[in-house]
Amino acid sequence: MSPVISAGAHDALTTWLDHQRALRGASENTIDAYRSDVAAFLSFMAGHFGETQGRTALSRVVLRDMRAWMAHERTQGIGARTLARKLSAVKSFYRWLAERDGFDATSILSTRSPKFTAKLPRPMASDAAENMINTTEAIAQSDWVGARDAAIVTLLYGCGLRISEALNLQGRDAPLPDVLRIIGKGGKERLVPVLPAARSGVNAYLRLCPHPHIPDQPLFRGVRGGALNPRQVQKVVEQARLQLGLPASATPHAFRHSFATHLLNAGGDLRAIQELLGHASLSTTQAYTAVDTARLMEVYEKAHPRA
């Protein structure tokens, strides 16, 4: 049984999460991850010190305690990338707590994050993306489901949407306008141009869909008429990937990477692509330039082999 977190520490965590939600616009998924990560840290500290850690006791955590926590996490099979994420959440919590309670959090904030190799996005070639769209439609058990799946994947690739953003579209959003207003992570709003192919795909789906087109209901329906589950989209893309013999990196999110990379290759401005993707930081978007550079270096090495 995990050690109990004190009422004071629990209240501090709850207040901090409210702060993240209200003032920083963190999404509910982010809030859930923060809650889980910091609560697990507080629970560890209670066991580490052999007693429930109140709010005052949290100010006495030092570097060796942080190292003990990180070592414990690694023994649980937690990878460097995940541990770095957890440490970031703990630091953010302590930065806020130290400011509120007036103590020095240097020991926590100076804890070094574990090193890990950043995974670069793996975009698909344009012909592979097109084949994936066609295959998702062909493998469906009915025409309307095939049209639905093709329309969703076209939105992922043609507009750079996340699965959640595509499935959050409502009946009132169709027929699709020239520009879609998308609410992304953290409630951030952006405008996304809609390609004719995406508009045509959604129109074809609506013509075949047996369920009524209702303004305040999800645009994309499951077989029984309810909201479509994201997992269903992932399964369809996986089936298409296997049929085409594409690598495991050909996921629904890869369409979003492909959207950005192909725009960049065509001379698109990095800042404009950042806006289209809804990235808060340009550094996130810059990962796509690394993909492009890696491919160019591969071509260069083949053309100019070393002696």
Q: Of 49, 54, 48, whose CA–CA distance to 13 is shortest?
A: 54
Local confidence band at 244 (pLDDT 50, 70, 90 cut-offs)? very high
Global model pTM greater than 0.85: no
Which own/partner pairs from 55-58 qualify as long-range (CB within 8 Å, at least 24 positions apart)? 55/6, 55/8, 55/9, 55/11, 55/12, 55/97, 55/101, 56/8, 56/101, 58/9, 58/12, 58/94, 58/97
pLDDT band, very low/low/confident/very high, at 184 (cuts 50, 70, 90): confident
Annotated catalytic residue 288: yes
The residue annotated as part of the active site, out of 86, 162, 199, 221, is 162
Burial tier of 265 (Cβ tally within 10 Å: 0-12, 13-18, 19+): middle
Per residue in 270-281, pLDDT (tens digit) is 677 777 777 666
The pLDDT value recorded for residue 258 is 84
Q: What is the pLDDT of residue 20?
A: 86
Q: Is residue 199 annotated as part of the catalytic site, yes or no?
A: no
Is 34 labeled as catalytic in the residue annotation? no
The per-residue pLDDT for 280 is 64
- Tell me, yes or no, if 257 is annotated catalytic: no
From 81, 91, 190, 253, the catalytic residue: 253
- How far is it, in rounded angstroms, from Cα 137 to Cα 153? 10
Question: Topology of 7-109 in CATH?
Answer: DNA polymerase; domain 1 (1.10.150)
Strand, coil or helix: what is 182? strand
241, 256, 257, 262: which is the annotated catalytic residue?
A: 256
Which distant-in-sequence residues (6+ apart) come within 8 Å of 47 by Cβ? 2, 3
pLDDT at position 17 is 92
Is residue 279 annotated as part of the catalytic site, yes or no? yes
* The CATH number of domain 126-300, selected from 1.10.10.10, 1.10.443.10, 3.20.20.105, 1.10.40.30: 1.10.443.10
Q: How confident is the model at residue 1 (pLDDT cuts 50, 70, 90)?
A: very low
Q: Which position among 35, 185, 190, 211 bears the catalytic label?
A: 185
On average, the pLDDT of the chain sits at 85
CB neighbour burial string for 226-257, b if at least 16 within 10 angstroms, e if fewer: eebeeebbeebbeebbeeeebeeebbbbbbbb
Would residue 185 show up in a list of annotated catalytic residues for this protein?
A: yes
**What is the pLDDT, as a whole number, of residue 307?**
41
Dump pLDDT digits (tens) for 76-134.
988 888 999 999 999 999 999 999 999 999 989 999 988 866 665 578 888 898 999 99
Residue 8 is predicted with a pLDDT of 85
Q: Using the predicted structure, report yes or no on whether residue 66 has a pLDDT greater than 70.
A: yes
Domain boundaries, the chain: 7-109, 126-300
